[in-house]
Amino acid sequence: MTELFSASGLNKAEKYHLKKLPPHNSPVFDQIVLLDGEKLSQYKTNYNDDAIKNILDIKVFDSVSKKESVSQPIKKDFIPEKYYSENSLFSNYRMDSIIPKKYSTLFISGPDAIMMAMKDYYNSLGELGECRIDREARNFKGLAEDSFVGNLKVIEGAKGVHYDWVNANSGVC
């Protein structure tokens, strides 16, 4: 405690020319240090302030008084996390834009889910949706090619397969 109130600590008596008080003829800080622990624990810096003991008793990093965070459990919809790991079925057979024609056999990749939703929607339309469904088209989950707006025409040439970007199929029924 004397270190706390020493010249390098909080002792401002010399700097601010504080009066020395009887009976020890010393500044108030020195008198506080000389008092016993009980008196020191009751010391207040101002009339309305808390006593030093109350301030020092605050458990800033007390793990017991920490409030538990209220969090909602994450709802896992349909596929456990272990199936997404390396060399899993999903990892090897997902369909995305960088691996063309690699389809998910679980119907869980983005394009697969979109195509299944499109197929469900067209089926719900009855006869109106029949023009968008091709029951034989396995590569598009049963959707006709003209279900896709801007479907590009395939051009087969000497250099291989290309796509006609200028004259896209609009696919209007």
21-25, 94-98, 123-127: lowest mean pLDDT where? 94-98
Instruction: Write the pLDDT tens digit of every residue in 23-67.
Output: 666 665 555 555 566 766 677 777 777 776 676 666 666 565 555
Q: So what's the pLDDT on residue 142?
A: 81
Tokens of 27: 């500044």
Task: Fill in the amino acid letter for 164.
Answer: D
C-alpha span between 39 and 85 (Å, rounded):
65
Q: DSSP string spanning 87-116?
A: TSHHHHH--BTTBTT---TTS-SHHHHHHH
Average pLDDT over the chain reads 64
Does 17 have pLDDT greater than 70? no
Mean pLDDT of 140-160: 72
Does 124 have pLDDT greater than 70? yes
According to the model, what pLDDT value does residue 104 have?
45
Who wins on pLDDT, 133 or 24?
Answer: 133
Q: Is the peptide bond prior to 23 cis by the omega test (within 30 degrees of 0)? A: yes
Residues facing 153 on adjacent strands: 164
At residue 111 the predicted structure's pLDDT band, cuts being 50, 70 and 90, is low
**Which residues, other chains included, contact 16 with Cβ-Cβ below 8 Å and sequence gap of 6+?**
none
- pLDDT band of residue 75 (cuts 50, 70, 90) is low
Count of Cβ atoms closer than 10 Å to residue 133 Cβ? 18
Taken in order 33, 35, 41, 44, is the CA torsion positive or negative? negative
Asked if pLDDT for residue 99 goes beyond 80, the answer is no
Q: What are the structural domain ranges in the chain?
A: 13-56, 81-169
pLDDT at 126 exceeding the cut of 80: yes
Amino acid at position 70, single letter: V
